[in-house]
Chains A and B, each alone.
Chain A
Amino acid sequence: MDGIAETPAPAIDPFDVGRPELYHKDAWRPVFEKLRADDPVYYCETGRSGPYWAITRYEDIVRVDSDPATFSSSHLLGGVTLEDKSNVTFMQMDPPQHTAKRKSVTPIVAPKSLAQMEVLIRDRAAKTLDALPRGEEFDWVDRVSIELTSMMLATLFGHPIEDRRTLVRWSDTITADLDDPDSPIRTEAQRGEVMREFYLSMLDIWKRRREEEPRFDIVSILAHDPDMRNAPVEEITGLFGLFLVGGNDTTRNSMSGGMWGFAQHPDEWRKLKADPKLLGNAVSEIIRYQTPVIYERRTALRDVEIAGKTIAKGDRVGMWYISGNRDESVFEDADSLKIDRPNARQHLSFGMGPHRCVGSRLAEMQLRVLWEEVLKRDLEIEVLEKPSYAFSNLVRSPTRLPVRIKA
């Protein structure tokens, strides 16, 4: 040292799995492989939003996710993302408060609503597929994944179908990562503005639905729920935000991920064509293979030991579903799509425990319908390039996937 104080550039921890670049560049596989093998409960001190634990093995993830008395989702402690957020929905609550609130939304995905939605969803999937160009390159993400998901969202919210892409814009803005060079917004203030626009539009529909006969969209179901009818406005708008974001990117990503998966594993596509009864299991496998939600965060409520490490009260704990779904001790040859994988349904993509995804059956139904309609038309789809992925540590979101349907 020669006396000149030098500030070294902050060292990048190669095992900081909270870096959005890792998913943007699709470079996460070897990092998690090493963590699972050598340090499955890893403390990252230099996270972008503070230190956190990375839980990377299947078994440990299930343990954390199903123990809300030790690992809290509470908004008072920062909620469910590594960045502390103060959103208040039942997703950021613990039982018993969580339980009661979640119950009021389950009718939205009750078997009867799903059966009604399926008819509409099938009709739209059919029209969307019939309108695709033949023998010409197009973007599967835009023309199929975003298109179908936005139609489902419009139905779910009772929003005008012609204006469905506005729902996508709202959702993408709400979840945008401000460090993303392509982010549609640059500041939290801009985010707030777009959220206000969404809320006002929804409250408008809400007021109308309260006066109308019950229908099966989420706004109507909540507007006629005795507990929710008179709930504070922030609670209502919070729920709309949760369903918008929860149902948008996730389902979209599985539609893109499935296409890419079949392109990588053409034998699996042939297998499905030969035996379409495998589709139910194939849908679960696609959702495992894609893992649309990369992680969820909890906060430790007490000192607790996992895999020989002591997690201290107050620590952030990330459950890396994307890694648990690649755990070879549970899923053999985990990087491959295998539509007849016997335990595909045991994937972690919907989480586990009391917060396990409310929309799982709706998501599975949409994917099943899409592939049923593709099979029915015997479309031969060729993927022309690797997908590009969003700059996000939360959703694994293909942003572009050029394909061509054989004429």
Chain B
Amino acid sequence: MKVTFEFSDSPEVVAEVNAGESLMRVALDHGIPGIYGDCGGQCACATCHIYIDAAWIDRIGTPEPGSTEEALLEGAPADVESNSRLACQVVLTDDLNGLVVRVPEGQ
């Protein structure tokens, strides 16, 4: 399956990935710049902030109100938007083939 990473200042990257992995893990495996994953995917560092493309956000969903993910996103340096997610909390499933996400300008 494919995931597209978009950037504000460089061409997009299309990554060929396997279902079952987290979006953070595949970003690191493909050397996507701007996604760090400093806590190793434990929802504890907010260095894997991404914006989900509008066409996909309903399928993926938004963080639970009051959740750790929501608190981390609010406290992260890049502006939090209604389509913000932590990439380590998004597990790729077959129905997400073709997913498009945008990497924040700095985090």
Contacts and interface: CB of A to CB of B under 8 A. Distances in A.
Contacts of B40: 343, 346
Interface stretch (B12-20, B53-61, B68-76, B92-100): B68-76
Contacts of B78: 110-111
Interface in A102-125: 102-103, 106, 109-111, 114
Interface in B71-107: 71-72, 74-78, 105-107
A356 B45 contact: yes
Interface in A333-391: 343, 345-346, 352-354, 356, 358, 361
Contacts of A62: 39, 42, 44
A277 to B, nearest CB: 13
Contacts of A103: 74-75
B27 interface: no
A354 B36 CA distance: 16
A99 B45 contact: no
B75 A110 contact: no
A102 B42 contact: no
Interface in A53-89: 62, 65-66, 68
Contacts of A345: 36-38
B3 interface: no
A95 interface: yes
Given A66-B44, A346-B40, A106 B71 contact: no
28 contacts: A62-B39, A62-B42, A65-B44, A66-B39, A66-B43, A95-B66, A95-B71, A99-B71, A100-B74, A102-B75, A111-B77, A111-B78, A111-B105, A111-B106, A114-B106, A343-B40, A345-B37, A345-B38, A346-B38, A346-B39, A346-B40, A352-B39, A352-B45, A353-B44, A353-B68, A353-B72, A354-B71, A361-B77
Interface of B: 36-40, 42-46, 66, 68, 70-72, 74-78, 105-107
